[in-house]
Structure 1
Amino acid sequence: MANLVIASNHKAMKKLEGSVKNKVYDFIEKLSTDHTAPGLHIEPLHAAIDGRVRTARVDLHYRAILFQIDDKDGGEPTFIYMGTWNHDEAIKLAEKSVLRVNPVNGVLEGIVGELEGDGDRRKRVVVPEHGRRPEEEKTPYLIALGFTFEELTERLGLDPQLAERALAAVDEDGIIEVAADGVGWQGTALLDLATGLSIDSIREKHGLTDGPVDPTLDENERILQALDRPASKMQFAFIEDNEELRRVIEGGDFAAWRTFLHPEQRKYADGSWNGPFRLSGGAGTGKTVVAIHRAHHLSKQNPDARIVLTTYNKTLAADLENALRSLDPSITIAQRLGAPGVYVKGIDALANAVIAQAGDLDEACRSVLGTSAVEVGPRRTQTDKVWRDVAQSTASGLDYRLATPGFLENEYVAVVLANRITTLEQYAKVPRAGRGVRLTRPQRIAVWKLVEAFRRQSRMDGTLSFPEVLALAAEHLRLRNEAGKSHLADHVIVDESQDLHATHWALLRALVAEGRDDLFIAEDSHQRIYGQPVVLSRLGIKIVGRSRRLTLNYRTTAQNLHFAVSILSGAEYQDLQQEPESTAEYRSARLGPNPRLVECSAAADELDRVADQVRGWLDDGIDPSTVAVLTRGQDDRSRFVRALGERGIEARALDSNNAASPGHVQVLTMHRSKGMEFSRVILAGIDDAHLPSVPTLRAVPEEERAEAMLRERSLLYVAASRARDELVVTWSGKRSALLGG
């Protein structure tokens, strides 16, 4: 049975129709089963540059391009599949295709040839010696950063022609255009160069520090050894079973992340750390991808391991489970917390699972709520309503600016529940680190009166709030651990962790014993759209140097990324370690059209223009389910669904209870869009009344207004970064100040 390696080649895959992809799958399945089967017609080419290249028959009209690597001891050969093309094109491309081991860094590179005229845009520009150019011309971008041709080729290992073109580019867009033509690792290395990253740092990120492959090996052995290099795995992957093969072929470009990881991503997915590890990065940099691969790696490393994979809500958790199953259908998805396998739930469901398995909760209730007379049932408190009711009915004397559901709920979660406060005496003394509003002793007494009223009302209603359930679950686990019982998980992986509050973290910390590979935390503080910021060290989670950052965006175009990042301009963010969070090194690997800003004369005009834009995309053949209209609130979401329907466009409101539906344009709130992506996005209603939200800002105390503004910026940033290809922003009235300009 031949060994099969498949190359990442999105240009080849995207051109194939579905019926042809099925034939490709059948062809490769036959190839891996019996490469000598006569129907495959595996043939060398006499005019080929590389003697290992082969073409093989997929059907009467299509042929595959392969490289055949023979085993020196007569064992089964290794076939590297590069893609499938029309019969005549495949022959011409194969003749010019090359498989080579980079002599500088030992990375395997597969280069498919070009047809006549395909390379016209790749204009060869020879940079004068030492990078000198006439003074009247603009200094090329990389030369201005101090890079030389010798460094790029002899130390990094870039293709000389690619290095020449890169050194001739006058700006970042030029670098991105050149990078798109780079083979495997070379494209991302060029993007790193554009950020000013040093050659040594780029070598480290891409795993290029091992140097050349052993020169004493013969050429085929060197190729097989090079396949194990981290950067080689960006372009090549061994395919171990037919299901994996089908996923790669059917998924094409959009599913490439499942098999082909950047070396830096793979390092974090497969690494090991002596304690909690934190991975940060902007929208679209692959944090979720790494988290999924991390769960997969730990599961394969130890099939008996109990792994918890969790995130902010049930919708995102369902996406994580689907992606994990897609990555490996054979993976064990645990159905019970504490069972071997990967247990995937939103964090509130995770708390409910702890409660369901707990048995006696009296001691935890006394510790958290001050009484064991608590009904821990399925009903949850409507916190906004109860806080509003008790603030109006209780003579607390608290300033009206603080007697709001938002302030009281945050105080209750971040201070009272987080510190297991059950009496006024405890609350009067507890530090309130991180809370924006300082409270005098009389104010604390007033707040405590409302806390007691909230608890009484909830008990009368027979409800618990979600944070109370989290706090009870965390306390039960803490007491259980103190009693010497084993923890319920061996590893915990957390995605979208920037939106978690204190009781979330108490639960996560109590789930797994402190030690090697206990917590893996993925976050982007720029995407914090819920609650107040927390500092992990104050919650018993010590990162101490185990923190890394991803900067390369795989989702959006450079133009869309620039627009999204500009929304954050001038604002100061801090991460979960209370360190400044920057967007300085964020880069995209793709180019596209500039986002369009459309000012409308009135609300009705905006509805018309949004419908016209959507209709234009659909007329161009864009799949409706990949088109999204994002709004600030649910009322506007309903208004645009109705307006699109009245104008003959099938649209559907997307909420937490349903998934994107085929054949419909998706209309959803910006909050709901988190964790999603679409090919085309319209941000609608981006005026000064909707963003920042006037009611939202009015509901928070003045001392917390700055943090609320950061959340509004973050929400718009999240929405803008959902677009893969095209982004349109519309408004009527006065445009939002968050758009700048």
Structure 2
Amino acid sequence: MANLVIASNTKAMKKLDKSVKEKEWAFLDKLAADHTAPGLHIEPLQKAVDPRIRTGRVDLHFRAILFKIDSKLGDDPTFVYMGTWPHDEANKLAERSKLRVNPINGVLEGIIGELDGDEDRKKRTVVPDPRGELNRVVTAAPTSYLGATFSLADLTERLGLDADLAERALAAPDESTLVNIAANAVEWQGSALLELATGAHIDMIREKLGFSDTPVDETLDEDEQILKALEQPASKMQFTYVEDNEELRRVIEGGDFTAWRTFLHPEQRRYVEQNFNGAFRLSGGAGTGKTVVAIHRARRLARADPTSRVVLTTYNKTLAADLKAALKTLDPGIPIADRIGDPGVFVSGIDALGHAVLNQARDIGDAAEAVLGYRTEFTHQRTNTDKVWRGVVQSVSSGLDSKLATPGFLENEYVAVILANKVTTLEQYAKVARPGRGVRLTRPQRIAVWKLVDAYRRRSRMDGSLSFPEILAIAAEQLLLRAEADKDFLTNHVLVDEAQDLHATHWALLRNLVAEGPNDLFIAEDSHQRIYGQPVVLGRLGIKIVGRARRLTLNYRTTAQNLHFAVSILSGADYKDLEQGEESTDGYRSARLGPNPKFLECDDASDELDKVADQVREWLAPPADPNEAPLDPSSIAVLTRGKTDRTQFIRALGERGIDARALDDNPSTAGFVQVLTMHRSKGMEFARVILAGIDNAHVPSAATLRSVSEGERADALLRERSLLYVAASRARDALVVTWSGKKSELLGSPSEQDGSSCPS
């Protein structure tokens, strides 16, 4: 049985239609089972520059390009599958293709040869050892973007870039040109160029890509060197061993946008595989792969110890369902725990996690008394806390200023200060610190607030209900009491995605789920995407990061043009991370190029509905190329600020002959354009996105800003800015923004809108 290594979709390979993909999968399945089967027609080529090259018969019209590496020990050979091409083209390409170990950094490189006169494959030929090119003098262009900082020797001798690629990079006059060169380079070389474009030092790039100081073991023969090179982190950007048929099918059918879930960047792989002495925080912009790292890490921890109890959680049940589906896609055999505390991976939204803890407890009386000041049992959950707070304000003469006597302020104060600190009396509340709340309270104001809190709790006690935050706070205390009674913690490892949206009682629960120690908490977050709740500081909540924090900056989802626009939305705002450090977008870059975002100013609301429908209709038109598959309507999304607007656009699209469906808690429906709120779009991605109704009344939401106190207004505006950033970064390829009336103040300057400074 042959070992099978799959290369990520090479840029030289054209997309295959579904019928050919099925045959491709069948060919590789047979190859892995018996590489000597005569029907595979595995054949060498007489004129090939690399004696390892082979082609195999996928069908009468298509052939696969492979490299065969024989084992010195007589074991089964290893086949490296590079892709499938039309018969004659495959043979010509194979003759000029080569598998080699980069002598500078030890990375394995599979290079597909060029076809004469084919510009799309220009510069894809086999390159000589770059160390032999250093005597050539290269003068960077006067306007060179990199020339003032780096030399040809820096790029070839220290990084190992192909000499030809390095020359073109040094000649690039600006960042846009350099990004374009990177987008068409071999995987690791393109990543290195993107790092150079953001000013990264060469030693930092070598560290991120996992380069070794002794790249090639000269005591090994070439085949052994190739097999060893497959272990290099940067090699795994392009190559992966396939362990079973299901994984093989997933890789073949995955397409361009899911390949990166298998072919991790070395920096991502490091955070998957590394052990940490305590809590670790991984931050990064939208589309940088934080979620993928968390999923791979959960799998790694569960596989490393079958008895291990791993919790993978996130902000809500919808995102948790996505995590669970992605985990099963990555590894269908992964043990999924049905109950928290059982071996395997327990995947849940964090509020449901609190429920699970209480449901497993026999008696929560002691925990409730510590948190609320009275014993109670969990009978039912209160869902509409706003209504209760409004009723309390109307019925209790507290004397609190009307600007503070609002459901929003009172709920936030209750969660962030009172529940977080287990305050049960006025005396405690009068003394407790309130860092980060934005509004200073005098002693009389605290007394007034406590009157309302006391009335709120009396209502809860009378009807036996608990709110979500109360459930979480009591669950956290229940876990603490369990630990103090010398019982085992419920879990061994906790991984948290979308952590920026969690509030204080969430963190209390997470901290008490697992003992402090190696690999206890893995936290994935982006403070720029905080669209719920109040800011928190982990250190004040008992979660000590102490230098164990890193940031991802390479975006895999969004094109450079769309990323530029999304980041411009954040411009000028002051963001803090979960450790109260400055949150920056410096270094964010994209691995993909595409069209500039399109901006449509509309005459009125009716005209906007027409223009949105026209744009969707244009995208759904049959492609000009008959070999190109038509666009699935479900890959198009229209995002709105609120549910009322969502309903209006669904109806308008239907009236204009376009089938559209609302996307709420349900999964997306194939064959229908998806219409959803910006909040619902969190964690999702679509090929093409329309941001609709981006005017000054909707974004930022005037109603939302009116509902908060003056002291909380700045934070509310930050959340509105973050919401638009989240929405804009859902688009993989095309992004369109529409509005009527006065455009949103968050859209930025005309140069930022029209993409004039975006790579193109």
Q: TM-score range by the shorter chain?
A: over 0.9
Aligned: 1:671 with 2:679: yes
| 8 Å CA contact 1:381, 1:463 repeated in 2 | no
Displacement of 1:454: 1.2
1:580 match: secondary structure? coil
Shift of 1:388: 1.1
Provide the C-alpha distance between the structure 1 equivalents of 2:736 and 2:187, rounded to a whole number of angstroms.
Answer: 31
C-alpha contact 1:13 1:253 (8 A) present in aligned 2: no
Q: 1:326 aligns with which of 326, 329, 341?
A: 329
Quote the Cα distance in structure 1 between the aligned partners of 2:14 and 2:526: 31
Which residue identity is paired with 1:647? R
Q: Percent identity?
A: 72
Residue aligning to 1:635:
644
Cα distance in structure 2, aligned partners of 1:628 and 1:279: 29
- 1:302 corresponds in structure 2 to 305
Whole-angstrom CA distance in 2 between matches of 1:133 and 1:308: 53
**Corresponding residue for residue 609 of structure 1:** 611
CA distance in 2, matches of 1:704, 1:188: 41
SS in 1 for 2:382: coil
- 1:650 alignment partner in structure 2: 659
- What secondary structure does 2:4 align onto? strand
Query: Aligned AA for 2:293?
Result: V
Look up the match of 1:119.
Answer: 119
Q: 1:515 Cα shift? A: 0.3
Secondary structure at the counterpart of residue 192 of structure 1: helix
Q: Is the Cα–Cα contact under 8 Å of residues 379 and 464 in structure 1 kept in the other structure? A: yes
Q: Distance in 1 between matches of 2:115 and 2:29?
A: 28
Measure, in 2, the Cα distance between the counterparts of 1:396 and 1:58.
78
The answer on whether the counterparts of 1:501 and 1:531 sit within 8 Å (CA) in structure 2 is: yes
Specify the alignment match of 1:346 in structure 2.
349
Is 1:578–2:580 an aligned residue pair?
yes
Cα distance per residue 1:23-48 (max 9 Å; x no partner): 11111111111111111111001111
Distance in 2 between the 1:72 and 1:704 partners?
69
**What is the Cα deviation at residue 732 of structure 1?**
0.3
Structure 2 unaligned runs (5+)? 125-132, 624-629, 750-760
Which shifted more, 450-459 or 609-618?
Answer: 450-459
SS in 1 for 2:255: helix
| Equivalent residue, structure 1, for 2:423 | 421
Q: Distance in 2 between matches of 1:642 and 1:115?
A: 51
Q: Is the 8 A contact 2:8 2:259 kept in 1?
A: yes
Distance (Å, rounded) in 1 between the aligned partners of 2:18 and 2:134: 44
Q: Which whole-Å CA distance do the structure 2 matches of 1:133 and 1:272 have between them?
A: 43
Count of aligned positions: 734
Tell me which residue corresponds to 2:129.
none
**Corresponding residue number in structure 2 for 1:234:** 237
Aligned to 1:175, the other structure's residue is in SS state: helix
Name whichever of 730-739 and 426-435 sits farther off: 426-435
Distance 2:85 2:298 in 1: 36
Q: Contact 1:625–1:666 at 8 Å: present in 2 too? A: yes
How far did 1:457 drift?
2.0
**Paired position in structure 2 for 1:49:** 49
User: Structure 1 residues 328, 636: closer, same or farther in 2, change over 3 A?
Assistant: same
1:508-523 aligned within 5 A: 508-523=510-525
1:10, CA displacement in angstroms? Answer: 4.9
Q: Is the 8 A contact 2:140 2:171 kept in 1?
A: no
1:82 aligns with 82
Q: Are the counterparts in 1 of residues 418 and 429 from structure 2 also a CA contact under 8 Å?
A: yes
Which is worse superposed, 13-22 or 2-11? Answer: 13-22
Among candidates 683, 703, 716, match of residue 708 of structure 1 = 716
Q: CA-to-partner distance for each residue in 1:424-463, whole Å, 9 max, x for gaps?
A: 1111111111111010111001001111111122333332
Cα distance in 1, alignment partners of residues 213 and 304 from structure 2: 25
Listed as ranges, the matches of 1:144-543 within 5 Å are 144=148, 146-372=149-375, 374-543=376-545
What secondary structure, in the 3-state scheme, does the structure 2 residue paired with 1:48 have? Answer: coil
Could you tell me how far apart the structure 2 residues matched to 1:129 and 1:108 are? 25
Cα distance in structure 2, aligned partners of 1:2 and 1:133: 47
* CA gap 1:634/1:444 in 2 versus in 1, 3 angstroms: same
SS at structure 1 position matched to 2:16:
coil
C-alpha distance in 2 between matches for 1:129 and 1:93: 29
Q: Which runs of 5+ in 1 are unaligned?
A: none
Q: Cα distance, 1:262 vs. partner?
A: 0.3
SS at match of 2:638: strand
Determine the structure 2 residue equivalent to 1:8: 8
8 Å contact kept, 1:284–1:556: yes
Find the counterpart in structure 2 of residue 728 from structure 1: 736
Q: Residues 14 and 371 from structure 1, CA distance in 2 versus in 1: closer, same or farther, beyond 3 angstroms?
A: farther
Q: How does 1:556-567 map to 2 (within 5 A)?
A: 556-567=558-569
Name the SS for the 2:400 alignment partner: coil
Please report how far the alpha carbon of residue 257 of structure 1 lies from its aligned counterpart in structure 2 after TM superposition: 2.4
Which amino acid in the other structure matches residue 660 of structure 2? A
Q: Which residue of 1 aligns with 2:752?
A: none
Deviations 1:548-600 (A, max 9, x none): 00000000000000000000000010000000000010000111111111110
* Equivalence map 1:55-94=2 (5 Å): 55-94=55-94
In 2: Cα distance, 1:627 partner to 1:355 partner: 41
Secondary structure, aligned partner of 2:607: helix
Q: State the one-letter code of the partner of 2:294.
A: A
1:283 aligned counterpart, secondary structure? coil
Shift of 1:377: 2.2
Report the CA distance between 1:12 and its aligned residue.
Answer: 6.6
* Alignment TM-score, normalising by the size of structure 2: 0.95
Q: For residue 729 of structure 1, give the secondary structure of its aligned residue in structure 2.
A: strand
> Take 1:241 and 1:430, find their aligned partners in 2: how far apart are those partners?
57
**Is the partner of 2:466 in helix, strand or coil?**
coil
Gap change, CA 1:525 and 1:398, over 3 Å in 2: same
Q: The residue matched to 1:581 in structure 2 has which SS? A: coil
1:14 touches 1:252 (CA, 8 Å); kept in 2? no
Q: Deviations over 1:53-107 (max 9, x none)?
A: 0001111111100000011232211100001111111111111111000010111
Q: CA deviation at 1:184?
A: 2.2
Please name the residue that 2:593 is paired with. 591
Q: CA deviation at 1:273?
A: 0.6
Q: Secondary structure at the match of 2:738?
A: strand
Between the aligned partners of 2:384 and 2:464, the Cα distance in structure 1 is 12
Q: Which moved more, 1:424-433 or 1:275-284?
A: 424-433
